[in-house]
Chain A
Amino acid sequence: MAKILVVDDEQNIRNILRESLKKEQHEIFEASSGQEASDILDKHAIEIMITDLVMPGKTGLDLIMEIKEKIPELSIIAISGGGGINGRFDYLPIAQLIGANNIIRKPFSIADIKQTVKELLAG
């Protein structure tokens, strides 16, 4: 059982991740933006953050760079539906470069998410 923060501006994605991971007995926190996530991270000892990358305001990339400096031990799973700014870049490889432990492309399978979480917790 771990404290997992799910960051996504899409409510449905948060719902799916929450419901899936709750079944695995994890404690789920939710944030709909980068700023909201930062606030939760300041208040809770989150072990794993699953974050979207393209979000209004503080993007997932901004969040990762910020948190990796503040909480280097935090495990981060970056998820993204692709696209990127003007479609020129794929954010997932970049997220990996700046500190994401794992990247999973949307649409993902819940099984993959669960497996990745399991592997991160196992160290």
Chain B
Amino acid sequence: MRMTSIRLKLLIYMLLVCVLTIALLVGLTLPGYSEMAGQDLTRLISLYVASLIVLIGTGIYLVDRLLIKPIKDLTVATRQLAQGNYDIRLPATRHDEIGVMTESFGILQHNLQASLQNYDRENNTLNETLIKLQASEARARGIFDNVQDGLIITDGLGAIVAVNPALCDMTGYTASELINNNVNSLVPEHNRSQHQRDVVNFALDEKRLKRPHKHVTALLKDGNTIPVEISLSQLRSNNKLLIIAVVHDIRQRVQAEHALRYERDRAQSYLDTAEVAIISIDTKCLITLINRKGCTLLGYSEGELLGVDYFSLCPDQSVADEMREAYQQHVLNNEVFPKYFYITLRTRAGQDRIFEWHNNTVKDYEWNTAGIILAGVDMTDIRKSIDERKALRERLHQAQKMQAIGQLSSGIAHDFNNLLASIMGYTELLQDILSDADESVAGYLKEIYASGVRARDLVEGMLQYSRNAKKIGETSANTLYIPAMADDLSKMLHNILPDRIAVSINIPQDAIPVTIDSINLQQLIINMSLNAVDAMPDAGNLVITCLNDFNYHGECTSCGKSFNGNYLKLAVSDTGCGIGNESLSRLFEPFYTTKIVGEAGKGTGMGLAVVHGIIHDAGGHIIVESKPGVGTSFKVYIPAATEQTMANVANA
């Protein structure tokens, strides 16, 4: 917009005043003017004066309107601005210099107001930052002052810059006593040189100190020392290195550790004093604790056993797996695990030892099974002693029984056989006399005679048994080559045994000579064969075999003893009804029979007792294997003849 300046306005105004003045002066000089009457002249002069007054008034008005008032308004606005009133508004309605000035003032006022507002905002931000900073510093100070651990801030050389109240409480020093002193004043004399090196090393490179968290001893103001744990860190402030040390008083912890160690040592001493093996295993069957006795019994060091699978010490893999499975079920499903059990463990020396264990389940804080503690005793020797005593008792019992049978049979055999001879003899006489009697009488006489035969067999069995019993401990020098008697044996068995039994004899020519009486051997085979026949009431197969068995190791079914050596194994096997476990253990007892007592030709209960006597008299043993419904095999182990006994026979 083009503005009209005040100068132009005043120029126009002055021009109007000049025109008017000139017009007045020209009028006065005009010819008619002099002719005017006084009244007209006065009127004209008055007109001029009035015009002049109007012009002057107009001039004054214009000056006031155009100059004085805007300047006055601007002055007032400037004063208010100076007084801080930035909200004043001067309308820029004019287009002259005053308008420009007013507009410029407005812009100035606006800019000033904007700057002030910007300043206020910045000032507010600054204030907020300052407040936060102050709060942060207050918090830091609060932490520094109230933290439970002692804090020391030193420079790179160890000069103390600041300490917190906790450190003062801990050491007994005031802050002023410590600040500016070297931190070495808090270290016992004997540790100071090392500590100073640590400080310098840490200052140079915090990684140089291998253990920034370390247990050290702090020297207190009263001269006492306490254990502390310090942790160090570096801080850079204004490009200046500071070291912050957090000092934790660990007196209680150390005391607790000492107490714990004391209790542990005491518990360990109890464990080590115990004369039983004590083993703790975790949920994975791993050994977590073992006492000295346990190590001694197993022959390992504690270190060798810790972490080892307990059940892996059991040499029998199947037993180990079974026990491990039962233990896992106990841990996982809370199933019952035996509180008391025997298990054989193999020592480092390779010996198998029988342990009797009692155990208790260990629960964790959530009452879950965390493992078990086992207390065990090596029962190997005791068990062996018990077994030996048991075997001895059994042998004594057997010997007593045999002695009683021997005495009884020897004592009564003669008289008894005489009585039997009378019974059987008179029966035969009667049979002869009453040969024409009716069948029932003949049948009765036949039964009387058959009973006599059974009674005779019984007495004969008792006599044989007692004879063999008496020979126990004596050696027989008879050396026998069984293949040489195979034919006779075969004939004898075919004569004795019923036709329903298929007999098969397989005696190889390379069977070794054995030490046994031939009559006794025959009796042994007959007795076992008759026993087999009784087990096959309808039909069946009887197989007699021989086999050399060198360095054989086994356990006798009859006497229960382990035996080993060179034997000829004579096996008498049948396809009969078999023998139950209960009968198996009593098979060789005199008078023990499962047969129907009194049945013709059966049930004296002496047949296998005689076998027992004969084979043990010969220094051999017998093993019985039987499966009910399938058959039984009597394996007689006859000792191989020694070179000496064979030489004796050759010389004879």
User: With a CB–CB cut-off of 8 A, which chain B residues contact A73?
Assistant: none
User: With a CB–CB cut-off of 8 A, which chain B residues contact A86?
Assistant: 410
Minimum CB–CB distance for B235 against chain A, Å: 111
Q: A81-B413, A82-B463, A84-B410 are in contact. Are A110 and B418 (CB under 8 A)?
A: no
When chains A and B are docked, how far (Å) is the Cα of A12 from the Cα of B411?
A: 20
Q: A12-B426, A109-B424 are in contact. Are A87 and B418 (CB under 8 A)?
A: no
Binds B, one of A25-33, A34-42, A100-108, A115-123: A100-108
User: With a CB–CB cut-off of 8 A, which chain B residues contact A87?
Assistant: 406-407, 409-411, 413, 466
Among B413, B426, B429, the residue within 8 A (CB) of A83 is: B413
Confirm or deny: B346 has a beta carbon within 8 angstroms of a beta carbon on chain A.
no
User: With a CB–CB cut-off of 8 A, which chain B residues contact A84?
Assistant: 410, 414
Q: A10-B418, A87-B406 are in contact. Are A107 and B424 (CB under 8 A)?
A: yes
When chains A and B are docked, how far (Å) is the Cα of A19 from the Cα of B426?
A: 9
When chains A and B are docked, how far (Å) is the Cα of A90 from the Cα of B455?
A: 19
**Interchain CB contact under 8 A, A16 and B429:** yes
Count chain A CB atoms within 10 A of each CB in B418, B422, B459 and give the residue with the most: B418
Among A12, A54, A81, A90, the residue within 8 A (CB) of B425 is: A12
Confirm or deny: B415 has a beta carbon within 8 angstroms of a beta carbon on chain A.
yes
Among A16, A20, A54, A105, the residue within 8 A (CB) of B422 is: A16
Minimum CB–CB distance for B434 against chain A, Å: 14
**Interchain CB contact under 8 A, A80 and B428:** no
Minimum CB–CB distance for A111 against chain B, Å: 8
**Interchain CB contact under 8 A, A16 and B425:** yes
Among A10, A15, A20, A90, the residue within 8 A (CB) of B467 is: A90
Q: A87-B407, A107-B452 are in contact. Are A82 and B459 (CB under 8 A)?
A: yes
**Interchain CB contact under 8 A, A88 and B414:** no
When chains A and B are docked, how far (Å) is the Cα of A10 from the Cα of B423?
A: 12
When chains A and B are docked, how far (Å) is the Cα of A75 from the Cα of B176?
A: 142
Q: A54-B414, A81-B415, A83-B413 are in contact. Are A19 and B420 (CB under 8 A)?
A: no
Confirm or deny: B41 has a beta carbon within 8 angstroms of a beta carbon on chain A.
no
Confirm or deny: B541 has a beta carbon within 8 angstroms of a beta carbon on chain A.
no
Count chain B CB atoms within 10 A of each CB in A20, A87, A105, A107 and give the residue with the most: A107
User: With a CB–CB cut-off of 8 A, which chain B residues contact A109?
Assistant: 424, 428
**Interchain CB contact under 8 A, B425 and A83:** no
For window 124-148 of chain B, which residues contact chain A by CB distance below 8 Å? none
Confirm or deny: A43 has a beta carbon within 8 angstroms of a beta carbon on chain B.
no
Q: A87-B410, A87-B411, A107-B456 are in contact. Are A81 and B429 (CB under 8 A)?
A: no
User: With a CB–CB cut-off of 8 A, which chain A residues contact B421?
Assistant: 10, 12-13, 16, 79, 81, 106-108
**Interchain CB contact under 8 A, B429 and A13:** no
**Interchain CB contact under 8 A, B466 and A13:** no
User: With a CB–CB cut-off of 8 A, which chain B residues contact A54?
Assistant: 414
Confirm or deny: B416 has a beta carbon within 8 angstroms of a beta carbon on chain A.
yes
**Interchain CB contact under 8 A, A110 and B470:** no
When chains A and B are docked, how far (Å) is the Cα of A82 from the Cα of B463?
A: 8
When chains A and B are docked, how far (Å) is the Cα of A54 from the Cα of B467?
A: 18
Minimum CB–CB distance for B422 against chain A, Å: 4
Minimum CB–CB distance for A11 against chain B, Å: 9
When chains A and B are docked, how far (Å) is the Cα of A84 from the Cα of B466?
A: 13
Instruction: Name which residue of chain A comes closest to B422, CB basis.
Output: A12
For window 162-209 of chain B, which residues contact chain A by CB distance below 8 Å? none
When chains A and B are docked, how far (Å) is the Cα of A13 from the Cα of B463?
A: 21
Count chain A CB atoms within 10 A of each CB in B415, B428, B466 and give the residue with the most: B428
When chains A and B are docked, how far (Å) is the Cα of A106 from the Cα of B463?
A: 13
**Interchain CB contact under 8 A, A110 and B428:** yes
Confirm or deny: B593 has a beta carbon within 8 angstroms of a beta carbon on chain A.
no
Interface string of B200-231 (1 = CB under 8 A from A): 00000000000000000000000000000000
User: With a CB–CB cut-off of 8 A, which chain B residues contact A81?
Assistant: 413-418, 420-421
11 chain-A/chain-B pairs, Cβ below 8 angstroms: A10-B421, A15-B426, A16-B426, A54-B414, A80-B414, A82-B414, A83-B412, A87-B466, A107-B421, A107-B452, A108-B425
List of 3 A-B pairs having minimum Cβ-Cβ separation, nearest first: A87-B410, A81-B417, A16-B425
